[in-house]
Structure 1
Amino acid sequence: MKKGLTDIFEVDSVLKTLVLCVLTIGSYLIYKLYRFSSQINEHTELKIPNYFILTTIILFIISLGSLIYGLANIHDLSILKSSIVIHALSSAFDVTWIIMVRNRINLIAGSHKGDKLWLNPFFTSIFHVMYMQHKINQG
């Protein structure tokens, strides 16, 4: 299944993606993963289940909300400690989603380890959607 990455995904600024991810406290990262997943689901047979996407988004919102609430009430550490479990669960779903998108992009590009468009797992784990967008722009 070899298609051009720019046939499926939009070319976008990596710097803009980085800035928006930081300014939105990670919310833009979730948006970009959603866009990548929607584009994958529209243009390929390599579907990412909608229930998984929805569950991950809900967990992210709850996690972010509980973290903000915990930081607003920093004097009561029990609130912040209780948000750790939901944050860990949300993080596990986020990482799984990133891996799913990464693997599908590699399949779509027909790339293998060492290829120009291959998404390296190490760089993907650090730079997430910024690295994915960079590789999409190269495609």
Structure 2
Amino acid sequence: MKKGLTDIFEIDSVLKVLVLCVLTIGSYFIYKLYWFSRQINQHTELKISNLFITTAIALFIISFGSLIYGLVNYHDLSILKSSMAIHLASSVFDVTWIIMVRNRINVITGSNRGDKLWLNPFITSIFHVVYMQHKINKGLGKSAI
């Protein structure tokens, strides 16, 4: 059974999403991706692997922790250099996760290039969950700021 946006997602303030992503230094971004993925997994057949989600979250936490540790010990550049591989792996997983969620939202909305609800890959790569929430709000008939 095909479900629409109203059966899967909720309206949320785009400004709130943006502010929380900035204030939490990206942690809210991961939470929002997790929330979108959970909604997609619960309400559609377009599943995103729980193992993938867990791995992406774990890599983000490790990467974030190593960045903070490296900044606290900024005098020792070897710490920051040694954590580059984990940052790269975390970034690859994050980008892949963004693409997976974006593609599934496009399928759910039945959107193709140029449609009102189509998630543009370039804009999605810059604004991530903020842009996704904007398009979801638009599809639900409301543009919550």
Please give the TM-score of this superposition, normalised by the length of structure 2.
0.94
Q: Partners of 1:69 and 1:18 in 2: how far apart?
A: 26
The percentage of counterpart residues that share the same residue type is 81
Distance 2:68 2:34 in 1: 23
Please state how far the C-alpha of 1:84 moved relative to its aligned partner: 1.1
Matched residue of 1:113: which SS?
coil
Indicate the larger mover: 52-61 or 78-87.
Answer: 78-87
Aligned to 1:95: 95
Cα displacement string for residues 25-44 of structure 1 (whole angstroms, at most 9, x for unaligned residues): 10000000000000000000
Give the equivalent residue in structure 1 for 2:77.
Answer: 77
Give, in angstroms, the shift of residue 4 of structure 1. 2.6
Q: How far apart in 2 are the matches of 1:73 and 1:129?
A: 31
Measure the CA separation in 1 of the matches of 2:10 and 2:41. Answer: 14
What is the CA RMSD across the aligned residues, in angstroms?
A: 1.0
State the match for 1:111 in structure 2: 111
Once residues 41 and 7 of structure 2 are traced to their aligned partners in structure 1, the CA distance between those partners, rounded to angstroms, is 13
How far the C-alpha of 1:2 sits from its partner, in A, is 5.4
Stretches of 4+ moved more than 4 A in 1?
none
| CA deviation vs aligned residue, 1:70-101 (integer Å, no higher than 9, x gap) | 00000000001111110010000000000000
SS of 1:63's partner is helix
Tell me the residue number matched to 1:39.
39
Counterpart of 1:48?
48
Match of 2:67 in 1: 67
Does the CA-based 8 Å contact 1:21-1:29 persist in structure 2? yes
The residue type equivalent to 2:76 in the other structure is D
* Alignment-derived partner of residue 143 in structure 2: none
Contact 2:3 2:43 in 1 (8 A): no
Please, what TM-score do these two structures have when normalized by structure 1? 0.98
Tell me what 1:5 maps to: 5
Structure 2: runs of 5 or more not aligned: 140-145
- Indicate the SS of the match to 2:83: helix
Instruction: Name the CA distance, whole Å, in 1 between partners of 2:124 and 2:95.
Output: 10
